[in-house]
Structures are given as C-alpha cells and as structure tokens.
A and B are shown apart, each in its own frame.
Chain A
Amino acid sequence: SAVISQKPSRDICQRGTSLTIQCQVDSQVTMMFWYRQQPGQSLTLIATANQGSEATYESGFVIDKFPISRPNLTFSTLTVSNMSPEDSSIYLCSVDVGRTGELFFGEGSRLTVL
C-alpha cells in the first residue's frame, strides 16, 4: 500500500493564473499518475510521471498547459497554467506500487477557477 498526501486540498483561483499541486508518497514508486475528475464524471488520465524522464501526456493534454515535475521517487508536482473556468475540477495523483493496476490515490485537490 501507499499513503499519498496532496496539497492544496482545495483552492479558488482567478482566471489566467497558475496553480501548482504537490503530491508526496510515503514510499518510492516508479510511476505516478495525474488524473482529472470533473464534477459528476469519471477519472481522466492527464499524464504519467516517471522519475528521470519527461512525463507522458494523454490525448488532449499538453505540457505547456499541465507541466509536471518528478524530481525523485516520492514526489511530483502538476501545474495548471493560465487557468480558465473549464479547468475547475478535482485533480488526483495516484501510484501503482506493485505495478498490478491497483492504484492508490491522494485525497485530491479541488480547484475552482473564477
């Protein structure tokens, strides 16, 4: 298992600004995943963050909008850049400790853009 801490838990931001979300894991993991969950909808994978390499982004998500850092095996950040109201969502980081597909999730960061 893994314990994942995300910060901030929630924030209200102005249009055009950027916000960085932090994800800290209590154990070393190779792959970390960043998801978005819009109100009433399921999870959409934004990108996979591997330590020591560039993040891999899913279709519809680009590095300029969602830059990711992965400086070590226990930490990652996701930045939501130049925010618009459409970016209002819950952002979740997760890890697959045993590489089995069984994911552990952080509590999520609820972002509201005005």
Chain B
Amino acid sequence: EDQVTQSPEALRLQEGESSSLNCSYTVSGLRGLFWYRQDPGKGPEFLFTLYSAGEEKEKERLKATLTKKESFLHITAPKPEDSATYLCAVPMDSNYQLIWGAGTKLIIKP
C-alpha cells in the first residue's frame, strides 16, 4: 500500500538550532516527492520537488534531500519565521494523485 510517514509530529527548536525533518515513503516507482509549507489558516505553499535518489534542492535555510526510501528537510540556523507545518507528498503508484504525510509542526523559539 502506498504510504507517506513524516516524523517527528512536532519539533521545537531554539532560533539558530539546526535540525532535520523526515519523510519516508512506500511506493514502488517514485515519480517525484514534494515538500510544502503550511502556515496556520492558509493553504500549503510549494517548496521543492525531488525526482531521484541523491538529488538535493535548496531554498534559503532549507535543503531537501532524497534517498530511495526517504527524504529529509534540513533546516539550518532557523528563524522564528520558519515556524510552520511542513508537509511531504508523493504521487500514487496507480495515478498521479498525491499521497500526503501528516506533516511536521515546526516551532522556532526566539
């Protein structure tokens, strides 16, 4: 069964304290992995697409990496404005509809 699991559910960091969020997936033929950011009361905002193991994408303090079984979203020296829920999603085996993880709620304390 296609599945996406994110960990941890919530992560509290001090400003400047780097860490990583995990997204593990089980689909037989990966056709992309997507990271989104969602602020409270808003719709998700697209961040990255990764297509193959070893690929990396960066945007400001965020870097997404991909292996054959999981993806990491590394956050370096985070700021309070990085606080949000981070969602990952992959297309299903049978079609291109996305399977979404439950998200990681990231809280950066000043």
Whether B97 lies near A45 (C-beta < 8 A) is yes
A42 in the interface (beta carbon within 8 A): yes
The listed residue with most B CB atoms (<10 A of its CB), out of A43, A102, A105, is A43
> Taking the complex as formed, is A100 at the interface, i.e. its CB lies under 8 A from any CB of chain B?
yes
B41 within 8 A of A: yes
Interface residues on B, range: 20 to 34
Chain B 43-56 interface 0/1 with A at a Cβ cutoff of 8 Å (1 = within) = 11110010000000
16 sampled A-B residue pairs with Cβ under 8 A: A4-B43, A41-B102, A42-B101, A45-B97, A48-B97, A100-B49, A101-B31, A101-B98, A102-B46, A103-B98, A104-B46, A105-B43, A105-B44, A105-B45, A106-B43, A108-B42
Cβ of A107 within 8 Å of any chain B Cβ, yes or no, is yes
Q: Produce 1/0 per residue, A81-114, CB < 8 A to B.
A: 0000000000010100000111111111010000
Nearest residue, chain B, Cβ from A43: B100
Q: Which residues of B contact A (CB under 8 A)?
A: 31-32, 34, 36, 41-46, 49, 87, 89, 91, 96-98, 100-103
Cβ contacts under 8 Å, A107 to chain B: 41-43
Q: Nearest residue in B to A108 (C-beta to C-beta)? A: B43
The complex places the Cα of A63 from the Cα of B17 at a distance, in Å, of: 48
User: B34 contacts A43, CB within 8 Å?
Assistant: no
Partner-B contacts on A (CB < 8 A): 4, 41-45, 48, 58, 92, 94, 100-108, 110
Chain B residues near A100 (CB, 8 Å)? 32, 49
- 14 further A-B contacts with Cβ under 8 Å, apart from A43-B44, A44-B100, are A4-B43, A42-B102, A48-B97, A58-B97, A94-B43, A101-B32, A101-B98, A102-B34, A102-B46, A102-B49, A103-B44, A104-B46, A107-B42, A108-B43
Query: For B100, what are the chain A residues with a Cβ–Cβ distance below 8 Å?
Result: 42-44
Q: Return B28 CB to nearest CB of chain A, in Å.
A: 17
Residues of chain B contacted by A101 (CB below 8 angstroms) = 31-32, 34, 49, 91, 96, 98
Contact B34 A108 (CB under 8 A): no
